[in-house]
């Protein structure tokens, strides 16, 4: 049997209408969206299906929204009899990976991402932040620029997405300084439309409160291997996983290393479980061209049917 990894997207993958056809087709998907609406005390399902985009992309709504769609897509895959050997999620998506490995329940997953979104939103209102994607330099070069530009303000690496696509995060002036320095070295710097400096010290004010909230949950042992953002490694101990998820809030997402780890584990089938094709696009940049593998997306009825026909 070929090894399968489920990959779960995070913020930035959202589209209006996401999850709607699955909602209309399956009772068990309706239950997931109803739970998201109840736990959030908001019309998360309607933001997913009808928008407006401005409301959907507020991090306090977006985190439970993307998570609900991820869980709906996962539920449809599992109902079709397809399971995974590994899972990983990009930033917010890591919570969906925890659920897929039975480390947390569905309701607890939604409660955790709602609280995470609320705290991140609160900190973003206190501290203006910016993020920018640097394309064309490796991680060592970007980290060197970040170090040099720290005198202009808070700045750090947020996501190591592929070998030469690295997202920086921090105060607007410092992010601009790193971006300009990167351009001077021949790289591209693409400002991202975000409402805060995610994975930076500018949201560190949320860390203690989120850690305390996390510690009120009982995490289970993983049913399959999860590769974590903070370490690009697996972890079997529920208490250690809890600590990793607390650290994840302000730590870089090591996605490039995560995918390389999955390749080293001989994963041959990658399934992006949730909206968009951001992670599939990154896979093309990371996985060696001569490595035998297949990439699928499961975001709606059509892509789900294609996946099932190929894998079941």
Q: Which of 206, 220, 203, 262 is nearest to 84 (CA)?
A: 262
Q: Which of 21, 29, 12, 239 is nearest to 133 (CA)?
A: 12
Burial, 199: exposed, middle or buried (Cβ in 10 Å; 0-12, 13-18, 19+)? buried
Q: Return d(Cα 85, Cα 311) in angstroms, integer.
A: 14
A 10 A CB-CB count for 222 gives 20
SS3 of 105, please? coil
- With left for phi above 0 and alpha for psi between -120 and 50, is residue 141 left, alpha or beta? alpha
276, 9 contact by CB (below 8 A): yes
152 backbone dihedrals φ, ψ, rounded to 5°: -85, -5
Q: Return d(Cα 229, Cα 293) in angstroms, integer.
A: 22
Q: Return d(Cα 291, Cα 212) in angstroms, integer.
A: 43
Asked about 179 being catalytic, the answer comes back as no
Measured over the CA atoms of residue 103, residue 109, residue 113 and residue 115, the dihedral's sign is negative
Contacting residues for 199 by C-beta, under 8 A, at least 6 apart: 91, 156, 158, 159, 169, 249, 250, 251, 252, 253
Q: Return d(Cα 19, Cα 155) in angstroms, integer.
A: 35
Set 121, 199, 224, 228: catalytic member: 199
Asked about 199 being catalytic, the answer comes back as yes
Set 45, 87, 91, 171: catalytic member: 91
Contacting residues for 56 by C-beta, under 8 A, at least 6 apart: 14, 16, 47, 48, 62, 65
**Catalytic sites, residue numbers:** 91, 199
């Amino acid at each position: 049997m070929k090894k399968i990894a489920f990959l779960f997207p995070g913020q930035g993958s959202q589209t209006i209408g996401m999850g709607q056809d699955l909602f209309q087709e399956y009772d068990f998907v309706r239950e997931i969206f109803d739970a998201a609406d109840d736990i959030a005390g908001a019309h998360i399902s309607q933001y997913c299906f009808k928008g407006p985009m401005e409301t959907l992309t507020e991090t306090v709504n977006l985190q439970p929204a993307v998570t609900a769609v991820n869980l709906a897509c996962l539920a449809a895959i599992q109902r079709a009899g397809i399971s995974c050997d590994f899972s990983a999620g990009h930033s917010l998506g890591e919570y969906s990976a925890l659920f897929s490995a039975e480390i947390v329940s569905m309701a607890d997953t939604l409660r955790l991402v709602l609280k995470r979104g609320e705290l991140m939103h609160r900190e973003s209102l206190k501290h203006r932040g910016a993020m920018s994607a640097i394309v064309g330099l490796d991680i060592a070069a970007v980290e060197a620029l970040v170090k040099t530009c720290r005198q202009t303000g808070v700045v750090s690496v947020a996501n190591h997405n592929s070998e030469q696509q690295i997202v920086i995060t921090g105060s607007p002036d410092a992010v601009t300084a790193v971006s300009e320095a990167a351009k001077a070295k021949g790289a591209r710097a693409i400002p991202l439309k975000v409402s805060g400096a995610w994975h930076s010290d500018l949201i560190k004010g949320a860390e203690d409160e989120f850690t305390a909230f996390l510690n009120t949950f009982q995490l289970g042992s993983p049913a399959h291997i999860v590769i974590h953002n903070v370490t690009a490694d697996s972890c079997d101990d529920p208490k250690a996983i809890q600590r990793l998820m607390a650290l994840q809030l302000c730590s870089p997402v090591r996605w490039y290393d995560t995918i390389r780890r999955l390749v080293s584990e001989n994963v041959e089938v990658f399934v992006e479980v949730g909206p968009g094709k951001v992670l599939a696009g990154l896979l093309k940049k990371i996985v060696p061209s001569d490595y035998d593998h297949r990439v699928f997306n499961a975001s709606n009825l059509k892509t789900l049917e294609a996946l099932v026909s190929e894998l079941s």
